[in-house]
């Protein structure tokens, strides 16, 4: 397949805001690809080169891109910068300055060259990236060059979520969405949209894909219920676990011969996985599938010791900072361990433990379809007597009185709340399910849960807040491919939070509203930002509101904390806001 066919797809998608139309257009292209081309296409339309859990980025700042465009077009840097100032888009600049050329490169050619740019590291790598990219741009037509530059700059935002890609694959092969559930299962256990596309179009049964140690599984999430009575009615007899206010972590320990990411594909990209030879490898992945192994060396060592006894395993839990007396540190203190550099110093300053509540793989088999009680038994054998990696407490309950008592105990012990789990439930990767229910509030009049939202913009501060540069900010939640507003927040922030917010805003500021935002004109902020600042918001309740594009508003919203551990894809959805609204009214069955 010629790369220009992908460019034509992008051009047509830019002309529509309808998700179904985007799905149809992508399906038409998938119908013409080989399995390998579908793999590459799945990554590229999502604006990346590899699965989310593989740490490969283009790593080219605006200055380097300007130099690459200058070399590719034989124009001066000043001329490119002037064009960028006028257009606000380096893709448009290269499109105007490039010479007319015949589109001859195939998708594989372009992908491989972009991959070379991304993986180039070390001394002199920036100059090398500039040379490689400019060389590629000289081979492309103006329209192809436009989108390649946007890819490298991270500006391709066309509404192709992974779920849209899965729908498109089903339409391409079946003519409808009948295979969507199977595709989603495969994606949830592999976290690799490209691999799913490759195997699906190659005729592999999606249900044969399972958990592989070393490859992160999309984590299961809990639903909410508003009262103890509703919980008991919904779950019957269930397990109760404390809800820790830490970082979600998935810990993998496996022998060096373990199959990962499909060996038939790894051979093509094996430099990604070049690691020191060890009898056992340990990987730790965040909620958002980021590899955070290097941040927690003490957990790595504990997991290696556990592997000696238990063999390959994948376990799910929370990492939380602890004081000398064993009490838990606040979430923001734990988050200070989330760093690439200076880890050694923080290990002694902020010791952590991993509290494990589930197992996804053990005893050489996938554990997802086993019941909670069965998985718990397996988990006890894996954890053993480790001091650093511990088993979360669990007890069975079947009535409101005991549940209320357990909740009060959890509050006294400093836990965030309770997790309630059906005893016969399976681990549903990537799903939010009533098999798990979280309960975080103490009073019937409060909102049943916090909201994870994305900051879309901010308003200039006035009066005393003028010194911070920002006086309030606007947040939204996801609705399909869009971000819709739910709250304008200007109270409850400390001076330190205002300063931190301003710093985050300034490095993400953009000139125009990002295309995925739906913001009423009456709420238009002074500053627009990229959808990258995730915040946890608490509020008294949710009300219906004509003011916000979500049609709902948070009443008395307050910033609880910044969530560096979450991505845009993990924030609260409008559907979840509606559920919380119904919980507050006592209408959720």
For residue 177, give the nearest of 167, 188, 165, 187 by alpha carbon: 167
- Sign of the alpha-carbon torsion through 421, 427, 433, 438: positive
Helices (H), 356-470: 372-383, 400-412
Q: Are 250 and 216 in contact (CB under 8 A)?
A: yes
- Sign of the alpha-carbon torsion through 129, 132, 134, 139: negative
Query: What does the H/E/C string look like for 196-242?
Result: HHHHHHCCCCHHHCCCCCCCCCCCCEEEECCCHHHHHHHHCCEEEEE
d(CA 337, CA 463): 36
Phi, psi of 344 (to 5 degrees): -60, -40
Per-residue DSSP letters for 84-99?
Answer: HHHHS-HHHHHHHHSP
Count of C-beta atoms within a 10 Å radius of residue 411: 13
Q: Supply angle C-alpha 412, 417, 422, rounded to 5.
A: 130
Task: Report, as residue numbers or ranges, the catalytic residues.
Answer: 243
For the CA atoms of 545, 548, 549, 554, what is the dihedral angle to 10 degrees?
-80
For residue 570, give the nearest of 528, 540, 518, 535 by alpha carbon: 535
For residue 173, give the nearest of 265, 3, 8, 35 by alpha carbon: 35
Phi, psi of 20 (to 5 degrees): -60, -35
């Amino acid at each position: 397949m010629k790369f220009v066919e992908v460019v034509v797809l992008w051009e047509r998608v830019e002309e529509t805001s309808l998700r179904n139309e985007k799905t149809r257009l992508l399906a038409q292209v998938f119908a013409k690809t080989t399995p390998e081309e579908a793999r590459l296409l799945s990554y590229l339309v999502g604006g990346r080169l590899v699965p989310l859990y593989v740490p490969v980025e283009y790593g080219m700042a605006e200055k380097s891109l300007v130099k690459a465009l200058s070399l590719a077009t034989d124009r001066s840097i000043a001329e490119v910068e002037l064009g960028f100032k006028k257009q606000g888009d380096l893709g448009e600049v290269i499109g105007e300055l490039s010479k007319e050329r015949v589109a001859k490169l195939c998708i594989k050619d372009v992908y491989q060259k972009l991959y070379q740019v991304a993986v180039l590291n070390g001394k002199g790598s920036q100059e090398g990236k500039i040379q490689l990219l400019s060389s590629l741009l000289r081979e492309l037509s103006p329209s192809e060059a436009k989108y390649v530059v946007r890819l490298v700059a991270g500006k391709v935002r066309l509404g192709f979520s992974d779920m849209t890609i899965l729908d498109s694959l089903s339409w391409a092969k079946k003519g409808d969405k009948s295979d969507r559930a199977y595709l989603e299962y495969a994606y949830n256990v592999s976290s690799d949209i490209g691999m799913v596309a490759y195997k699906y179009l190659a005729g592999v049964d999606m249900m044969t894909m399972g958990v592989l140690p070393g490859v992160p599984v999309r984590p299961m999430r809990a639903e909410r219920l508003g009262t103890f009575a509703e919980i008991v009615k919904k779950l019957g007899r269930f397990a109760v676990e404390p809800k820790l206010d830490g970082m979600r972590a998935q810990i993998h320990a496996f022998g060096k011969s373990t199959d990962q990411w499909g060996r038939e594909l790894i051979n093509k990209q094996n430099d990604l996985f070049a690691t020191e030879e060890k009898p056992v490898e340990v990987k730790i992945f965040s909620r958002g599938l980021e590899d955070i192994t290097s941040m927690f060396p003490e957990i790595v060592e504990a997991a290696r010791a556990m592997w000696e006894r238990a063999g390959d395993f994948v376990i799910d839990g929370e990492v939380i900072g602890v004081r000398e007396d064993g009490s838990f540190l606040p979430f923001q203190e734990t988050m200070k361990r989330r760093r690439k550099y200076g880890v050694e110093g923080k290990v002694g300053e902020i010791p952590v433990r991993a509290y494990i509540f589930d197992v996804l793989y053990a005893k050489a088999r996938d554990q997802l379809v086993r019941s909670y009680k069965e998985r718990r038994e397996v988990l006890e054998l894996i954890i053993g007597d480790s001091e650093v990696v511990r088993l979360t407490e669990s007890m069975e309950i079947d009535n409101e009185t005991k549940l209320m008592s357990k909740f009060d105990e959890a509050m006294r012990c400093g836990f965030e709340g309770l997790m309630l789990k059906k005893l016969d439930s399976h681990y549903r990767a990537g799903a939010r399910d009533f098999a798990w229910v979280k309960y975080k509030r103490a009073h019937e009049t409060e909102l049943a849960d916090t909201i994870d939202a994305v900051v879309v913009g901010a308003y200039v501060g006035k009066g005393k807040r003028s010194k911070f540069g920002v006086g309030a900010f606007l947040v939204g939640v996801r609705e399909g491919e869009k971000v819709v507003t739910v709250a304008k927040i200007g109270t409850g922030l400390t001076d330190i939070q205002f300063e931190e917010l301003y710093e985050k805003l300034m490095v993400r500021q953009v000139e125009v509203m990002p295309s995925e935002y739906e913001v009423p004109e009456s709420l238009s902020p002074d500053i627009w930002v990229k959808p990258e600042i995730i915040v946890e918001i608490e509020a008294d309740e949710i009300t219906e509101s004509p003011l916000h594009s979500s049609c709902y508003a948070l009443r008395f919203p307050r910033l609880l904390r910044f969530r560096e551990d979450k991505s845009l894809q993990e924030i609260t959805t409008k559907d979840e806001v509606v559920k919380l609204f119904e919980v507050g009214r006592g209408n959720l069955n």
